[in-house]
Amino acid sequence: MTIRSFDLLQPRSLAEAITLLVQHGEDARAIGGGTTLIILMKQRALQYRYLVDLQSIPGLNQISKEPEGVRIGALATHRSVELSPVIREALPVVAEAFSRVGNVRVRQTASVGGNLAHADYRLDPPPALLILGAEISAMGPNGARKIPLKDFFRGMYETALEPGELLVDVKIPSMPAKSKAVYLRYSAMSANDWPCLGVAAMVTRENGRCKELRLALGGVAATPVLVNGLTFVKDQLLDEDVMQQILAVVDEQISPFSDLRGSEWYKRQMTQVFIRRAIAQLDSQLIEG
Amino acid sequence: MANLAIVGQSVYRTDANPKVTGRALHVGNIEMPGMLHVAVLRSPYPHARIRHIDKSRAEALAGVAVVLTGAEIAKMPAVDAHFGPAFRDQPILAVEKVCYAGDPVVAVAAVDKRLAEDALQLVEVDYEPLPAVFDVLEAVTPESALVHEQHRPAKAFADLAHVQAGRQSNICYHFKLRTGDVERAFAEADRVFEDTFSSPAAQHVPMEPHVTLVYLDEHERLNVWTASQSPSYVRTELSATFGIPMNRIRVRVPYLGGGYGAKLYAKLEPLVTILALITKKPVRYALTREEEFLTITKHKVVTRIQTAIKDGTVTARKCEVYWDTGAYAEIGPRIGHKSGYTSAGPYRIPNVCIDSYCVYTNRVPAGAFRGFGVPQVIWAYDSQTDMIARAIGADPVEFRLKPALDEGEPFATGTIVRSFGIKEAIREAAQAIEWSKPRAAPSGTKSRGKGIAAGVKAVLTPSISGAIVILNADGTANVLSSTVEMGQGSETTMGQIVAEELGISLEQVHIVQPDTDATPYDTITAGSRSTYHMGNAARSAAAKIKAELCEVVAARLEVAADDLVAGKGRIFVRGMEERGMTVGEIFLAKFGSLGTTLAAEAVCQPAASHMDPETGQSEKCTEYWFPSATAAEVEVDTETGQVKVLQLVSVGDTGTSINPRHCEQQLLGAALTHLGLTLFEEMVFDEGQLVNGSLLDYQIASFKDMPESVRPIVVQVPHEDGPFGAKGAGETGALTVAPAIANAIEDAVGVRICDLPITAEKILRALTDKEGTAVSIGSTTS
């Protein structure tokens, strides 16, 4: 299939890009790595007269260590996140989640900003970023603003970004002391397939007990889900009683729908299995560590 | 084998180098000056009447050469608007109505592909939706919507001569087999087992999607470059459809980028031909991957199977097989027939009743798929065989071995089997997987199990292959054959056969690629038939040349021709290599010149005897058989239902191997394709709309899905009439994978899945149902 002809606009700055997007309104769309947008345009499911090429703006692909975390530019590729020494050291769960997307050819091209702005409910990175409390910087016709990632996903393929507004970077805070995080992806069919679901978990320990548990899931609702209401685990041992309570809380907050990768019933079952596995894995790591 | 120089050697493929270096020619690489590109508008409705098409805006677009509809084709004198190998039921473009979502409706040829697709967006079609049928069991009921109001047999193939014009029904073909007294055997049985099995539609996913290029040459002859497994048939079909003499049609097929049955018979060729005839320009149509999914599929099949057991033995079997052939019959009737008659299995069962129905539905047409329907029927009978063995406390391997047919016994059709290594295959499979050893104890959430499956396919009979061998004065040879090299290694195999017969080296043989101007007729490159049929034809043609050479040498050296042999590029007296002549010397002796060639043609045409239409009995229903067995060891995660295949052993009786490594590769390639088909591949439809028609959503097995260990075992039971004893190997590895894995899963966790694919969810659901409660999620591995 072919793409209808379009003009590729190459702004040299964010401000210029925003101006172009505002000027052309619904006729224009920003393009990062293009791995999803181009497929949809080839299928002629989406058609734009103008594509605003964010790759032509210098500096948007930086990955930098900051005093309280790591900042990843919107145009950094999945592959660069996966291989970044900074991220592998400080936030290995982020490197792991990005390494699970698509295949190496896709990851070499697909951008971090594109991944988040696409807001697909089953992508691997969002759950990992959600448990770490990531925050998005956006820039639009009305200036710059910060959006916590947990408020960013509004629906299937819908985000908090306003027309003409661009995702500039994502800031990920450092992990708390004595904490470990893990991302488990489960593909129910071919190992190469989209995940049936993904579970990210972070456990912080203090004096041999749980200080904090964070859980986030992909694939089990129209958006990635950051689980609320887990504060009751503070100062608890993660024993079977507590586990049952955790699973009950999670089950209330997910709303999986049946698709090619599993029925609602199956996704609820697998959510429980993989939350157990994620927590068990972290628990043993923390005990060993 | 005694005294063979190159047959039986695992030489490397002659096509490997051009392929891995990217120099092999494929149709998609051919560009011609002024070439037009095609885009096709497809029906969004599974069944609808076409009320009106407005194409005026598309026609007005600069660069668009033609915008064509089926109604226009139907008005063309001397053009048959419909084609098809069993029934002429498939329109080149939809005429009056569409029969599936994806049915081609309007075609555009334009100077580039984008423009052609732009033009399609300007075409407006007004449809009136009609009642549709999507389920094969519903389609056979009298209340069902009718897909076609009339059936038109095609008469293109001898083995389909009995296909008849049907009544007002979606059943386009019904095969019957009756032997013994089935009712009585069931009445007298100790136990009766009745089960229903299904396997879904799936796609072949060849690396190279369909592509066809057609142009008229300087003599206005039709030239067709096409990615096809059946160049001879394409010429016949185009001649019949357009009324063009056969010698004015030239069909060429370069290296094919995989076929697996998807590229048989006619596909894009009639449409591209008509566009080339209208525009007088070269026209190429290359399917997108998404269109590939809307063009041809593996048959969805539902099989009801009943088996009577008396004193621990199978005494009777009743099979009802329903083939969902989709909107157009394609080759469905042949599949319903050839696979239908094998659907009780390779066993000694005195009473058998088979009804095999080929049924239209409003879904994507189904056709040949590696195994030609036999994997679907083995899925049913071998799964049930295993279930019965377990139910009556018999060892599943012994339960198969005991009634497995021996050489000289009659198959269910009454045909005496020969070269039938089914027992050898079962034994090899059982041994390879250490069947009799105790199973490993479950570890955490993981349980292991082993499974064996066995089955047999019969080769398409009758069919025809012709070959011409041309010997050059320098001792090299050209072989003219319409067998398509599609990755199966035919070029190397034919080269080995001809080299052996003429006593020359493989490098001295060149296989000419299919070109109907030069290469003789061949039925199809499919069905594991080429090594036997084309191999025999090429060998016989080479033998004729050798006989001519020997005649000259015999006269010159005053020896008996029978005492002469070919080897090392010479003809010499057996045991006395120095007493002989080179090809050059023979040519000089015979022709007084080196500027000539020696050519010979041969045809291999095995016959079948008449099959009784009421009982399916035939003295000879097939030329040869492909016994297959697969052994699998699996590990099932009882919390998720996920299956990991640890070991997969594919065993096939291929006859004598011309090239043992090729046979092993064929067994493994077929088995690994069917691994994906067993565990996750399925074309999912919602009210006739394909839901997962792209490689984003339809996954085939990849390296990441491979078992920890895969192993081919070639059983060689020579066939008395095969070239050097060979049969074929292309499909054997495909036949028994699915039941072997299902049987291993039951062995591991005690649940039986009867509907392919065996997804993790189906297993977890079955485990949950078995426990009567939610599966214990408490037992984490930590």
Q: What are the DSSP calls for B402-413, one per residue? A: TTBPPTT-B-TT
Task: Please name every residue paired with B82 in a beta bridge, in sequence order, or none if there are none.
Answer: B91
Of chain B, the percentage scoring pLDDT greater than 70 comes to 98
Q: What is the CA radius of gyration of chain B?
A: 27
Of residues A214, A248, A13, the one with CA closest to residue A132: A214
pLDDT of residue B781: 36
Name the residue facing A277 among B113, B705, B780 (closest C-beta): B780
Q: Are strands B465-472 and B446-458 parallel, antiparallel or unpaired?
A: unpaired
Same domain, A224 and A199: yes
pLDDT value, residue B319: 98
**What are the residues facing B104 on neighbouring strands?**
B42
Same domain, A26 and A98: no
- Together in a domain, A244 and A277: yes
Please indicate if any CB of chain A lies within 8 Å of the CB of B692: yes
The answer to whether residues B544 and B600 touch, using CB atoms and an 8 Å cutoff, is yes
Instruction: Round the average pLDDT of chain A to a whole number and report it.
Output: 95
Report the pLDDT value the prediction gives residue B779, as an integer from 0 to 100.
Answer: 40
CB B775 within 8 A of CB B767: yes
> What ipTM was reported for this prediction?
0.96
pLDDT level of residue B153 (50, 70, 90 thresholds): confident
Residues A279 and A214 in one domain: yes
CATH among 3.30.70.360, 3.20.20.30, 3.10.560.10, 3.30.365.10 for B16-23+463-604? 3.30.365.10
Write out pLDDT tens, residues B506-523. Answer: 999 999 999 999 999 999
Sequence ranges of chain B with CATH classification 3.90.1170.50:
32-130+204-293
- Percent of the residues in chain B that have a pLDDT greater than 90, as a whole number: 95
| DSSP run (H or E) holding A172 | strand A166-173
B572-603: per-residue pLDDT in tens? 999 999 999 999 999 999 999 998 999 999 99
A151 with A52, same domain: the answer is: no
Q: Cβ A273–B639 below 8 Å, yes or no?
A: yes
Q: How much is the pLDDT for B775? A: 45
Q: Is B676 on the interface with A (CB under 8 A)?
A: yes
Residues A247 and A267 reside in one and the same domain: yes
Query: Using one digit for the tens of pLDDT, what is the confidence trace for B238-264?
Result: 999 999 999 999 999 999 999 999 999
Q: Does the beta carbon of A166 lie under 8 angstroms from any beta carbon of chain B?
A: no
Top-tier CATH class for B32-130+204-293: alpha beta
Please say if the pLDDT value at position A273 is more than 50.
yes
- Final residue of a structural domain among A118, A138, A173: A173
Identify the H or E element spanning B56.
Answer: helix B56-60
pLDDT tens digit sequence for B342-389 = 999 999 999 999 999 999 999 999 999 999 999 999 999 999 999 999
Same structural domain for residues A104 and A136? yes
Q: Answer whether residue B1 shows pLDDT above 50.
A: no
- CB neighbours (10 Å) of residue B71? 14
CATH number of the domain to which A17 belongs: 3.30.43.10
Chain-chain contact of B699 with A192 (C-beta, under 8 angstroms): yes
Least confident window among A152-161, B150-159, B447-456: B150-159
Assigned domain for A2 exists: no
- Domain for residue A1, yes or no? no
pLDDT above 80 for A285: no
Pairing mode, strands B171-179 and B351-360: antiparallel
Q: Residue B150 has what pLDDT?
A: 82
Any domain includes A128: yes
What is the pLDDT confidence band of residue A263, given thresholds at 50, 70 and 90? very high
Torsion of CA B404, B410, B411, B414, to 10 degrees: -160
Within a domain: residue A110? yes
Q: Does A277 touch chain B (CB under 8 A)?
A: yes
| Whole-angstrom distance, CA of residue B88 vs CA of residue A154 | 53
Phi, psi (degrees; rounded to nearest 5) at A97: -65, -45
pLDDT in tens, B623-671: 999 999 999 999 999 999 999 999 999 999 999 999 999 999 999 999 9
Number of A/B CB contacts below 8 angstroms equals 76
A240–B696 C-beta distance less than 8 A: no
Residues from chain B contacting residue A281 (CB–CB below 8 Å): 782
More confident residue, B690 or B161: B690
Instruction: List CB contacts (< 8 A) between A276 and chain B.
Output: 777, 780
Kindly provide the residue ranges of all beta strands, DSSP E only, lying in B180-247, ordered along the sequence: 191-199, 211-216, 222-226
**Position B774 confidence tier, pLDDT thresholds 50, 70, 90:** very low
Q: Do A253 and A282 share a domain, yes or no?
A: yes
Domain boundary at A56, A76, A96, which? A56
CATH assignment of the domain containing A253? 3.30.390.50
Predicted confidence (pLDDT) per residue in A57-105, tens digit = 999 999 999 999 999 999 999 999 999 999 999 999 999 999 999 999 9
Whether residue A216 sits in one domain with residue A123 = no
Token readout for B678 is: 């067993």
Active site residues of B: 731
* C-alpha span between B493 and B727 (Å, rounded): 12
Which residue of chain A has the CA closest to B692?
Answer: A260
User: Interior CA angle at B448 toward B443 and B451, to 5°?
Assistant: 170
Which residues, numbered 622 to 641 in chain B, qualify as contacts with chain A under a Cβ-Cβ cut-off of 8 Å? 639-640
Domain's final residue, options A148, A173, A198: A173
Q: Could you give the residue range(s) of every CATH 3.30.365.10 domain in chain B?
A: 16-23+463-604, 297-460+611-771
What is B297-460+611-771's CATH topology?
Answer: Aldehyde Oxidoreductase; domain 4 (3.30.365)
A43/B290 Cβ within 8 A: yes
| Chain A residues with beta carbon closer than 8 angstroms to that of B290 | 1, 43
What pLDDT is recorded for position B2? 58
Q: Residue A288: pLDDT above 80? A: no
How large is the average pLDDT for residues B216-224?
97
Domain count along chain A: 3
Nearest to A190 among B684, B699, B780 (CB): B699
Domain housing A51? 7-56
